[in-house]
Amino acid sequence: MESISCIQDCLLVREVQGGNRGAFAQLVRAHDQAVLRVALRITGSHSDAQDIYQEAFLKVYKKLSTFRFECSFSTWIYRIVSNVCLDHLRKKRNRRENSTIDVSVDGKEYDLLNQISDDRPANNPEQQLLRRELSAHISFALHELTPCERMVFELKHFEGLKLRTVGEILRTSEGSVKTSLFRATRKMRFQLAGFGKEQESSMQQRCHT
């Protein structure tokens, strides 16, 4: 059974295809936050995210007449923004950019993230340093992922999409998605586990001084 939002999207798409520009504005309002959220997490840059946002919706506008309702509109728009993001990642593949992306993944290796990756001010200088170090490790870990791995990781863990849906968005099999997710998670776990060991060693040294 289709959700109300899916039905509303279909009605709006048909109106746009019939020449109603106002209906397109409604579609944008319904999905702009999701598109911007994905773009911002992938780039870690507000300016780059805005560029991706604009390019994605421009592509949506140009291609909307070809939409054939073979998948949900949300899947289709995720597919477009994912392709734009993948192009961006490939262009930046060999560069290291400062990122403020927060990661939250199930597993004990990531418990530290839940403890210190929040919006509360850190009055403790030591905690501030810890956050900066963790941010650097997260940025490095994310950039170690291939573009495909990073998109799968983003869509699964941040957007909360099912693997089958991720496969539909990226036009690949669910098995391929599982493989990419496994590799991405293993790389993230390895990088962040190393950070945890560094912190544990540092704490032990302080305790013996």
Task: Say if CB 5 and CB 53 are below 8 A apart.
Answer: no
Task: Say if CB 102 and CB 110 are below 8 A apart.
Answer: no
Burial (Cβ within 10 Å: 0-12, 13-18, ≥19) of residue 16: buried
- State which CATH number among 1.10.760.10, 1.10.10.10, 3.10.580.10, 3.40.50.12780 fits the domain covering 97-209: 1.10.10.10
pLDDT for 195:
66
Which DSSP helix (H) or strand (E) runs through 12? helix 4-17
pLDDT for 134:
72
**pTM higher than the cut 0.85:** no
Q: For residue 117, what pLDDT band results from cuts at 50, 70 and 90?
A: very low
Structure tokens at 139: 């940025």
Q: What is the pLDDT of residues 58-98, one digit of tens each?
A: 999 999 999 999 999 999 999 999 999 999 988 876 554 44
Give the CATH fold of the 1-95 domain: Rna Polymerase Sigma Factor; Chain: A (1.10.1740)
